[in-house]
Structure 1
Amino acid sequence: MNKKTMSLCGLVCLTIILLAGCSEYSVKSDGKTTLILAENQPADYPTTIGAKEFARLVEEKTNGRYEIKVYHGGQLGDEKKAVELTQLGAIDFIRANTTPLTEFNDQIGVLAMPFLFEDEDKKWDMLTGEVGNDLLDTFAGTRLVGLAFYDSGERSFYNTERPIETPEDMRGLKIRVQSSELAIDIVESLGASATPMDYGEVYSSLQNGVIDGAENNFPSYYTSSHYNVAKYYTVNGFQGAPEALLASQEMWDELSEEDRVAFKEAAMESIEVQREAWADLTEVSKETVTEAGSELIEVDDVNEWREAVQPVYDKYGNEYSEWIERLSNDE
């Protein structure tokens, strides 16, 4: 038995276990179909709030013919396994970050490029418009259907050593990154040393000096308690890869065209509620870390930072050239 077959068997076994624990799994009764959505964040997290709003709108728009149960907190497995189960049709919907989704759809990786958007307004005009819809369509052929993007904030650098105002201040620092070639290249283009590391190891590594810093959005900086050991947070929003709400192709193919329109509308309309929840959590996070003694270094002009990461665009520009051009278009 080869590795691919073994992996598939493992997923099937996991699906059976999940089905045993989820009695409401894709049930059809009394004219109502119950579908399931996998979410690995807690019940009160913004992406879960968005997923629940999506579920509410679907039920409303289909006059109660469809009900979506949101299983939060990773009840249906970690994000990668849940994506694979969605591809198999064992899970109907999933919310996942677009960065790890590059394993399934390499084109979506453009959204992880540094300083891709001029500002948040431009970013969301693009992601909720024609370009965003075309990016969601790149999931065609992956057994996944892209429905909408959700907010995941802007990632910035934080460290234990000193305030960072310019790329020059990054030199010599050991910065934790995700296990991604792009993430490594971004940090190294800024003169720092990139250290791939599991997220769960970051707190102790900051505390013990194994690394000098890391990068993430405000809510993650807060909820992980990294602010307790890394007091300097540079607000430069160098990366803003969003979340994606996806459907199983198998489930989608069974829907009528009318229901597909309703589901897509529900997904797009849920973005506003999700983004409001994200903005609220971001503000609470900022207030909390500031009161705890963190120093927020605001970077008003990121042009110097953009210039510093040009080697990243030189390396990946050809791969993403079409999307970079369209996402940079002011029209």
Structure 2
Amino acid sequence: MLNQTLKSLTLAALLAGSAIAASAQEYTIRATANSNEQDEDYDGLVVFKNYVEAASNGAIAVELFIGTQLCGNGAECLQGVADGTIDVFISTSGGAAGIFPYVQVLDLPYLMSDDRIAEHVLSGDFTRKLRDMALEDSGGAIRLMTIGNTGGWRNFANTQRRVVDPQDLAGLKMRTVVADLPQELTRTLGASPTPIPWPELFTSLQTGVVEGTANGITDIMSMKFPDAGLKYLTLDGHAYMGAFWWMSNEKFMAMPEDMRRIVVDGFSALQQATFASPKRKSIEAYQQFLAEGGDLYVPSPEQKAAFKEAAAPVYDWFTTNVGRGEEALTAFTAAVEAAQAEVDAARAADIN
């Protein structure tokens, strides 16, 4: 009898708690990512949803739309954020370049040396600087919440030969996105840029329409590019694959301060999740690449320096041709220098 009573009371409490949580819900955040449930973006959104809903005690509900349910590409999705039909959207730099061209600053090659530097830079005032620029250029409509990661680091991969130095890229037909900077970098290094939509890349590699691409290992393996003939991968790590998380500024600012704080903390948790996810996933991906006969090459410091020297003209191109490019690059290089100094000091302290 007592056990039955306790069970009844427990069930009643759970139901009451659910009813309170449901009745207390005041805000709904509609978040979308044009990816899939195996992607780092999804990992980040799951962490964000869990944190925000728990920390707000049910006052905020987060609805996830993975794929193209709400919108099909970066320009369309960002327009949805500006219009208020979408609350949160994640884009690559290429996906946002049509509206905020200066976010391509993260695609400038060989400016950040490793994960510690990148994570330090993207967790600080540089992201706030880009936020201010985006708010200004969108008329206060689109707010950059954080920058995470979506796939690790970009590396050169191709179907033809091992790439040891910049000269080995000469003449290769390299797939790029439609954004200007990746195409200019490809040309600067002597290869031939060929803009190809992501869903068409497998077939394009298979048929020789393109001979190479610049992607992270997790994307390469999840898309099964080795089956299309992609065999050679050079770990030059020329660009960090930043993930830009945008939010409707109207939706964000309509919340009271305590709710905004929870959302901000939720994006911090999301950022940490996306920093970590590619590191774990890449371990198995590299093993799989080698097991399938892939050729993996790690350039020496001298060879990486040669790549950076060969790519140097693209910095001048960026500041000259990209709107507010000089402003973004100045902020970025200052943040990288500060991060490098702080991380170097921490390393010195920890090894002595």
How high is the TM-score relative to the length of structure 2? 0.81
Write out per-residue CA displacement over residues 242-293 of structure 1, whole angstroms, 9 at most, x where no aligned residue: 0012211221121112221221111112222222222222222111111111
1:63 matched to which residue of 2?
57
1:97 matched to which residue of 2?
92
2:14 matched to which residue of 1?
none
Cα distance in 1 for residues equivalent to 2:92 and 2:210 = 25
2:319 matched to which residue of 1?
317
Cα distance in 1 for residues equivalent to 2:309 and 2:174 = 20
* C-alpha contact 2:117 2:336 (8 A) present in aligned 1: no
Q: What CA RMSD, in Å, does the superposition of the two structures yield over aligned residues?
A: 1.8
2:348 matched to which residue of 1?
none
1:39–1:226 CA distance, 2 compared to 1 (3 A): same
Counterpart AA for 2:46: K
Identity rate of aligned residues, in percent?
22
Write out per-residue CA displacement over residues 2-51 of structure 1, whole angstroms, 9 at most, x where no aligned residue: xxxxxxxxxxxxxxxxxxxxxxxxxx962203321111211232211111
Cα distance in 2 for residues equivalent to 1:263 and 1:213 = 40
Q: Could you tell which deviates more after superposition, 157-166 or 114-123? A: 114-123
Counterpart AA for 2:336: S
Cα distance in 1 for residues equivalent to 2:91 and 2:288 = 27
Superposed counterparts of 1:32-71, under 5 Å: 32=25, 33-71=27-65
Counterpart AA for 2:206: Q
Cα distance in 2 for residues equivalent to 1:43 and 1:242 = 18
* C-alpha contact 1:94 1:247 (8 A) present in aligned 2: yes
Larger radius of gyration, structure 1 or 2? Answer: 2
* C-alpha contact 1:117 1:327 (8 A) present in aligned 2: no
Counterpart AA for 1:114: P
* C-alpha contact 1:114 1:309 (8 A) present in aligned 2: yes
Cα distance in 2 for residues equivalent to 1:156 and 1:128 = 23
1:24 matched to which residue of 2?
none
2:213 is paired with a residue whose SS is: strand
Cα distance in 2 for residues equivalent to 1:241 and 1:49 = 16
* C-alpha contact 1:222 1:285 (8 A) present in aligned 2: yes
2:279 matched to which residue of 1?
279
Cα distance in 1 for residues equivalent to 2:300 and 2:57 = 48
Counterpart AA for 1:312: V
* C-alpha contact 2:90 2:243 (8 A) present in aligned 1: yes
Cα distance in 1 for residues equivalent to 2:270 and 2:204 = 38
> For 1:150, which of 148, 172, 176 is the aligned residue?
148
Cα distance in 1 for residues equivalent to 2:175 and 2:274 = 28
Cα distance in 2 for residues equivalent to 1:59 and 1:138 = 30
Q: Could you tell which deviates more after superposition, 58-67 or 303-312? A: 58-67
1:239 matched to which residue of 2?
239
* C-alpha contact 2:94 2:178 (8 A) present in aligned 1: no
* C-alpha contact 1:99 1:241 (8 A) present in aligned 2: no
Superposed counterparts of 1:108-119, under 5 Å: 108-119=103-114
1:160 matched to which residue of 2?
159
* C-alpha contact 1:184 1:194 (8 A) present in aligned 2: yes
Superposed counterparts of 1:208-227, under 5 Å: 208-227=207-226
Write out per-residue CA displacement over residues 141-182 of structure 1, whole angstroms, 9 at most, x where no aligned residue: 321111111112111111111110100111121111111221
Matched, 1:126 2:121: yes
Q: Which runs of 4+ in 1 moved over 4 A?
A: none
Counterpart AA for 1:146: L
Cα distance in 2 for residues equivalent to 1:89 and 1:98 = 21
Cα distance in 1 for residues equivalent to 2:194 and 2:274 = 32
More helix by share: 2
Cα distance in 1 for residues equivalent to 2:80 and 2:69 = 13
| Structure 2: stretches of 5+ with no match in the other structure | 1-20, 342-352
1:18 matched to which residue of 2?
none
Matched, 1:74 2:74: no
1:266 matched to which residue of 2?
266
2:306 matched to which residue of 1?
304
* C-alpha contact 1:157 1:215 (8 A) present in aligned 2: yes
2:78 matched to which residue of 1?
83
Counterpart AA for 1:175: M
Superposed counterparts of 1:16-31, under 5 Å: 30-31=23-24
Shift of 1:89: 0.6
Cα distance in 1 for residues equivalent to 2:261 and 2:273 = 20
| Structure 1: stretches of 5+ with no match in the other structure | 1-27
Shift of 1:137: 3.0
